[in-house]
Structure 1
Amino acid sequence: MLSTIRIVLVGTTHPGNIGATARAMKNMGLSDLALVTPRVFPDEQATARAAGADDILANVVVYPTLSAAIADCQLTIGASARLRSIPWPQLTPRECADLAGRQARGSRTAILFGREHSGLTNEELELCHFLLHIPSNPEFSSLNVAAAVQLVAYELWVANASGDAAVEPAVPLATGAELESFFGHLEATLWDVGFLHERRAGDSTMRRLRRLFNRARLEEPEIHLLRGILTTMQFRLKGGKE
């Protein structure tokens, strides 16, 4: 299971945190580290803080957008130190590890960690199926990003070592790229049919629809079915003409 986990750091400011994350990952058998628009990387501070996890740093992939970093992932979980105003399915680190361990063979899971001072934005969390919240002192709840990765990585290691989690049937789930393409198609169709008519209301509606479909964990055939329905609706709106 550990080989299917991708740790994604978004907008990391201090390169030392990247190195410390690599060390935390190697401690717990993780190896896939992705960076989204880090301020500085590569950097000697990252190498120094990695303390021997140089192989993980050497294989880091830097992405220009979060969507690109999770494009091939079937399950995306975003870490947040604070609870958001919009209800989102929420997991503890242990629940996160259990869920990751029950994914179908070949599925990839991305676990996202945000900026040191502000975390993940609401827009970035909208790309996630679940929100990961680490219980801590409510008066001082912000964890260092590498410390947060270490806690989650430990739970993943324990879940992997236990071997108790049942593996779900190997039905191909939609990837991040397929979901984003579907959401774009859905929004365009809803504007076309007049269901969306104001930008602010449209944003709110799409946020709720994202939450609904992410909760459903769509399979690839279901995505194709829904895309077919949307295409037919758009075709009929044009009077059946291309």
Structure 2
Amino acid sequence: MNDALKIVLVGTRHPGNIGSAARAMKTMGLSRLALVAPECFPDPHAYALAAGANDVLDVAEVHATLEDALAECRFVIGTTARRRTVTMPELPPRDAARQLVDAQARGGVALVFGRERTGLENHELQLCHASVCIPANPDYSSLNIAAAVQVLCYEIRMATLSTNANADMDAATIAASIDPDDLPATQAEMEAFFQHFSALLDDIDFHKGRPPDMISQRLRRLFQRAQPDPRELRILRGIFSDTQRLLKKS
């Protein structure tokens, strides 16, 4: 079982979909399931449709927010069924699976699925480094959430099986042997950085009354592409703090 990669379901309405997703995961060797604000869980319908994947449900994480669910992750891909206004790399399923599998050597990774009817909201996609879309029939693209989980978990399975057979250590062992300061910053560290950066921009009146959304999105994309490590974030935040201190003295 591959427990280095986390499957995250956001705002799932029907508990049966949670059980079916757990079944899809287990058939492809995945065991880490995280639920963000599910409408009904735990629930007998989830266990009924898990069909033997009860162990996945038994240890499923439940979080109030997506930020909490992704806090320790260093690389995140969000699923989407349509083109969004959020600018980010858009990957086909096979490429997304390969990037997720490769990124496991640097720490926690996650694949995020949105609500049954509306998917992920734009602000949730902004927490991701890239997006993935299953190229379904454009005349009938309605794909059940558990079916989408199955398709992408299959691609992850194939990417995992094709990984270099000479690698003797699993991703978790490799990550544990690396100095955390040499790894990309976690999602929690990045969010703290973005909040600090936003506060500094407000302190210097950078936006000058204009809506900050577009600038904030572009800056977020810039730093997520760069994938800074914790040392680099500490340097930048040190600059921010010194600037704010000087502003208070002036």
Q: TM-score, normalised by structure 1?
A: 0.93
The Cα offsets for residues 64-104 of structure 1, whole Å up to 9 and x where unpaired, read as: 11100000000111100001123211111111111112226
**1:105 counterpart SS class:** helix
Aligned ranges 1:1-242 → 2 under 5 Å: 2-103=2-103, 105=105, 107-164=107-164, 170=178, 171-198=182-209, 201-239=211-249
| Deviation, structure 1 residue 28 | 0.5
Percent of aligned pairs with the same residue?
Answer: 49
| Deviation, structure 1 residue 233 | 1.1
The Cα offsets for residues 163-193 of structure 1, whole Å up to 9 and x where unpaired, read as: 1499999531111100110000000000101
Structure 2 gap segments, 5+ residues each:
none
More moved, 14-23 vs 208-217: 208-217
Structure 1 gap segments, 5+ residues each:
none
**1:86 counterpart SS class:** coil
* Contact persistence 1:89–1:215 (CA under 8 A): no
The Cα offsets for residues 29-72 of structure 1, whole Å up to 9 and x where unpaired, read as: 10000000000001111001100000000001110111000000
Output the CA distance in 2 between the equivalents of 1:18 and 1:138.
26
Letter in 1 for 2:219: L
More moved, 82-91 vs 34-43: 82-91
**1:77 counterpart SS class:** strand
Output the CA distance in 1 between the equivalents of 2:26 and 2:104.
24
Output the CA distance in 1 between the equivalents of 2:206 and 2:112.
33
User: How many residue pairs get matched?
Assistant: 239
* Contact persistence 2:25–2:31 (CA under 8 A): yes
**1:8 counterpart SS class:** strand
* Contact persistence 2:193–2:233 (CA under 8 A): yes
Q: TM-score, normalised by structure 2?
A: 0.90
